[in-house]
Amino acid sequence: MRSSPPELWSDESQRRHLRRNFLALMFDGGAYSLGQAFIAVETVLPALILTLGGASWLVALAPTLGQYGFFLIPLFMAQWTERLPRFKSAIVWTSLPQRAAPLIAGLALLFLAETHPRLVLWAVALTPLTMSVGGGFNVAAFWELVSKVLPANRRSSNIAARYIVGTSGGIVAGFAITAILVRWPGPFGYGVLHVISFLCLALSGWSLSFVRELPHRPAPHAGSLGLRAKLRVAPVWLREDAVMRRFVVARSLSFGLWVLTPFMAVHALAVLQKPTSFVGRLTTAQMAGVIAGNLLSGWLGDRSGARIVSRLGCWVTVGLGALAAVNRSEAGFITMFFLYGVANMLIQNGPNALLLELFPAERRPTYFALVSVLVLPAIALSAGAAWALHTATGSLWPAAVTAAGLGVFGQWYFSRLPEPRHAAADAA
């Protein structure tokens, strides 16, 4: 339903549109990723929560707060998405709250930190959650837009290119974070970071406006499912569709990475006795890993398919867990955050592209919504496990071992998924 006829791609004007769309989507994602780097939930946010007096359970939630809306809200939006004749305008307008959230938190940090510290703490902590809720309204439409304006053999590379542009700037952002927090080590410095994040997200929205939606051949109406019907059909699909069942299990296990990450930056600062500005160096290492992960996922995904990318992400998680269990050195922490960047991109890019390849285009928003809500408990459990292990032991190694073990099982489940069955038809 969402793909262009193959003959359109052979026309020179359509090839120009393809290049334009590839670049617009690349810079949209690049600017968005750069904006996220300035308020990174793995490094900047945990340190900021502790600076503002937040509890350890809030630190444990930090890496996952930016995910809940993306995985829950699509359940309510799939029917609307399936009926959209075009996607770009809907994405731009529904993303406004998503892009404005860091500005609100930044202004609170700049002007209210001394007079209303608890209010500022919650404004900061809820920023990634607000962004994810806003993004949840349009994430299914966004992936439909990608599948509509880019052919199948350019999607993995575009997903990778989006992050490469953002994280190339993110390496510079890491040095900027260090400089800003050295100059303003308290809430004011973090407020500056949030305002910069907002400016990058605004640039992302402007870049998206340049995407040109190409004509497409609508498929016969498949009969969109309402919310109640989706909830009723989910157990049936899980029982009868082995591919969907294995995909849900594999995707859930890959979130074991987030059992380890909430306290990595806090642990590094405590072990090395470094000031909070050290999170800038950790962010730089993470961004370098993101670049490596995206280069690898783009190249490997286009050549060998998204399943291999997903499996490799789980194996890198195993390696990260092994290192985190024993490391006490600065070089080791830099390496850990590099490996985290690699693993996180592989387990994001691989399953995202795999979802486009495995499930039929005419019902993909519904599949996307159901898969998202079915893996949501795994995200919450990863945060709960991170908090429980840290509270019980005060150490990082139990979380590291848990993440490594889940990575082993995750790659095995990804290996059980078949070769893509709808990729060829979707490209046509």
What average pLDDT does the segment 193-215 reach? 88
What confidence category does residue 425 fall into, taking pLDDT thresholds of 50, 70 and 90? very low
Tokens at residue 417, please? 């998924």
| Per-residue model confidence as pLDDT tens digits over 309-321 | 899 999 999 999 9
- Tell me how far CA of residue 212 lies from CA of 95, 115, 141, 260, 388, in angstroms: 18, 47, 15, 41, 48
For residue 363, pLDDT beyond 70: no
- pLDDT exceeding 70 applies to what percent of the chain? 86
What confidence category does residue 342 fall into, taking pLDDT thresholds of 50, 70 and 90? very high
For residue 166, pLDDT beyond 90: no
CB distance 123 to 54 below 8 Å? no
What average pLDDT does the segment 117-144 reach? 89
- Tell me how far CA of residue 343 lies from CA of 30, 382, 410, 411, in angstroms: 18, 16, 13, 12
Cα gap 119→100, rounded to integer Å: 18
What confidence category does residue 102 fall into, taking pLDDT thresholds of 50, 70 and 90? very high
Tokens at residue 281, please? 């160096």
Which of these, 331, 336, 295, lies nearest to 317 by C-alpha position?
Answer: 336
For residue 6, pLDDT beyond 50: no
Q: What is the pLDDT of residue 12?
A: 62
Report residue 191 CA to chain centroid gap: 23
For residue 362, pLDDT beyond 90: no
Could you name the CATH architecture of 6-216+226-427?
Up-down Bundle (1.20)
For residue 164, pLDDT beyond 70: yes
For residue 253, pLDDT beyond 90: yes
Cα gap 337→343, rounded to integer Å: 10
Q: Angle CA(27)–CA(317)–CA(190) in degrees, nearest 5?
A: 50
- Tell me how far CA of residue 31 lies from CA of 11, 204, 285, 347, in angstroms: 30, 5, 19, 21
Q: What is the pLDDT of residue 41?
A: 85
* DSSP per-residue letters across 192-228: HHHHHHHHHHHHHHHHHTT--PPP--PPPP-----HH
Report the chain's mean pLDDT, rounded to a whole number. Answer: 83
CB distance 113 to 191 below 8 Å? yes
Which of these, 372, 365, 370, 358, lies nearest to 234 by C-alpha position?
Answer: 370
Q: What is the pLDDT of residue 257?
A: 92
| Per-residue model confidence as pLDDT tens digits over 405-414 | 999 999 998 8
For residue 227, pLDDT beyond 60: no
> Residue-wise over 10-40: b if at least 16 C-beta within 10 A, else e?
eeeebeebbeebbbbbbbbbbbbbbbbbbbb
Return the percent helix, strand and coil in the chain, to nearest 5.
80, 0, 20
Q: What is the pLDDT of residue 254?
A: 92
* HSE of 378, CA atoms in CB hemisphere, 13 A: 20
Q: Dihedral angle at the C-alpha atoms of 335, 411, 304, 425, nearest 10 degrees?
A: -130
C-alpha R_g of the chain: 21
* DSSP per-residue letters across 83-130: T-S--HHHHHHHTHHHHHHHHHHHHHHHHTTTT-HHHHHHHHHTHHHH
Helices of type H across 305-363? 306-326, 330-358
For residue 223, pLDDT beyond 50: no
Q: What is the pLDDT of residue 135?
A: 87
| Per-residue model confidence as pLDDT tens digits over 275-304 | 888 999 998 898 889 888 888 887 888 788
Cα gap 300→306, rounded to integer Å: 8
Q: What is the pLDDT of residue 104?
A: 95
What confidence category does residue 8 fall into, taking pLDDT thresholds of 50, 70 and 90? very low
Q: What is the pLDDT of residue 2?
A: 44
- Tell me how far CA of residue 405 lies from CA of 32, 114, 272, 325, 415, in angstroms: 32, 44, 27, 12, 16
Which of these, 304, 342, 333, 321, lies nearest to 409 by C-alpha position?
Answer: 321
Tokens at residue 73, please? 């809200």
Tokens at residue 81, please? 């998405």
